């Protein structure tokens, strides 16, 4: 259609009389695009669109030695290990389906995976029964063995912590901040956003003050006080003992200090248990 002034979806559909609803919404734009494509295909009697647009994809092939290693693996949750011809560990990972993951690695065309494919001579694996233990074991094994193709585990899984302090008026305050070297946090989060979401939930469930939990910076009362969802700790109208008792309940429920926890889950055969202390 070389005669068209513009090839944007909106102008093309108007020019060709194609109805479009919910403009700039996924459904409306998708339906209009389908109608436009059908119209173009009908006009394309020489099949130019198909011959120039479709890419021929070569079927992914697995080398015989890699195929044997895939057959050696299992479709279960656990940690897998790759060794070179000198029996040196070069890569390890975890997966909910070891065989599926290894197949993906051995058919990938990514540079890193291609290098692994050339060097791997043998594999082994260990069933864990559930993904949590697989993740924990993977973490420990990478730090211990430092395989050639595994990146060092520099990133913290939990970067921010929930901290408390007592302000000049005697009210317990919360704030979420980067943990850094200050390990005196109540509980931890994977991000600042996750920590703020937690505080929003606590404000809603326990009628806490958004100002005192660090979600609002104001010299006056918090916005919730105006709509009677805050009992007035920000204006000192709520007794500090009453407010602090609710805050302390949250601290006691979420702090792991002097607590031992056992997480029970599926195991390799029956059940597994992870002890936190």
Quick one: which of 206, 202, 198 has its CA closest to 176?
198
Q: Show the tokens assigned to 45.
A: 């009697």
Would you state the pLDDT for residue 43? 86
Distance CA 252, CA 33 (A): 56
Would you state the pLDDT for residue 3? 85
Q: Show the tokens assigned to 90.
A: 């070069």
Would you state the pLDDT for residue 40? 86
Domain ranges of the chain: 9-53, 64-145, 160-254
Would you state the pLDDT for residue 1? 81
Mean local confidence (pLDDT), 67-79: 95
Mean pLDDT of the chain: 90
Mean local confidence (pLDDT), 122-148: 94
Question: 64-145: which CATH topology?
Answer: GIY-YIG endonuclease (3.40.1440)
Quick one: which of 129, 88, 93, 128 has its CA closest to 108?
93
How many Cβ atoms are within 10 Å of 117's Cβ, its own excluded? 18
Would you state the pLDDT for residue 61? 75
pLDDT band at 24 (very low <50, low <70, confident <90, very high): low
Does residue 122 register a pLDDT over 60? yes
Q: What is the share, in percent, of the chain residues with pLDDT greater than 70?
A: 95
Distance CA 203, CA 245 (A): 14
Helix (H, G, I), strand (E, B) or coil at 43: helix
Would you state the pLDDT for residue 60? 64
Lowest-confidence segment of 5-9, 49-53, 203-207 by average pLDDT: 49-53
Q: Show the tokens assigned to 21.
A: 């609803």
Mean local confidence (pLDDT), 191-200: 95
Does residue 58 register a pLDDT over 70? no
Q: Where would I find the H helices in the chain?
A: 9-16, 26-43, 48-53, 64-72, 98-107, 111-119, 131-145, 192-206, 223-226, 240-254
Mean local confidence (pLDDT), 75-92: 97
pLDDT band at 18 (very low <50, low <70, confident <90, very high): confident
Would you state the pLDDT for residue 46? 83
Strand partners, 273: 264
Helix (H, G, I), strand (E, B) or coil at 81: strand
Residues in CB range of 115: below 8 A, 6 or more apart: 149
pLDDT tens per residue across span 202-249: 999 999 999 999 999 999 999 999 999 999 999 999 999 999 999 999
pLDDT tens per residue across span 142-165: 999 999 999 866 566 789 999 999
> What are the C-alpha distances in Å from 104 to residues 16, 60, 84, 124, 236?
44, 10, 19, 16, 60
Determine whether 187 is exposed, middle or buried from the number of CB atoms within 10 Å of its CB (0-12, 13-18, 19+).
Answer: middle
pTM of the model: 0.56
């Amino acid at each position: 259609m070389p005669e068209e002034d513009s090839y944007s979806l909106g102008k093309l559909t108007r020019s060709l009389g194609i109805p479009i609803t919910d403009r700039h919404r996924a459904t409306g734009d998708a339906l209009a695009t389908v109608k436009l494509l059908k119209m173009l295909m009908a006009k394309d009697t020489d099949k130019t669109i198909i011959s120039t647009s479709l890419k021929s994809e070569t079927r992914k092939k697995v080398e015989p030695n890699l195929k044997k290693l895939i057959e050696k693996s299992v479709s279960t949750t656990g940690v897998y290990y790759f060794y070179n011809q000198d029996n040196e560990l070069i890569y390890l990972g975890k997966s909910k389906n070891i065989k599926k993951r290894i197949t993906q690695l051995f058919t990938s065309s990514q540079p890193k995976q291609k290098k692994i494919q050339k060097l791997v001579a043998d594999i082994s694996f260990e069933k864990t029964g559930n993904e949590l233990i697989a993740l924990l074991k993977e973490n420990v094994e990478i730090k211990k063995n430092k395989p050639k193709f595994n990146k060092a585990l520099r990133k913290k899984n939990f970067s921010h912590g929930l901290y408390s302090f007592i302000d000049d008026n005697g009210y317990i305050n919360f704030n979420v901040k980067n943990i850094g070297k200050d390990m005196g946090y109540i509980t931890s989060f994977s991000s600042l956003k996750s920590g703020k979401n937690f505080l929003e939930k606590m404000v809603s469930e326990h009628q806490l003050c958004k100002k005192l939990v660090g979600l609002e910076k104001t010299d006056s009362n918090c916005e919730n006080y105006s709509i009677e969802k805050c009992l007035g700790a920000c204006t000192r109208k709520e007794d500090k003992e009453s407010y602090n008792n609710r805050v302390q309940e949250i601290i006691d429920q979420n702090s792991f200090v002097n607590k031992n926890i056992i997480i029970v889950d599926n195991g390799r055969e029956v059940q597994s248990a992870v002890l936190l202390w």
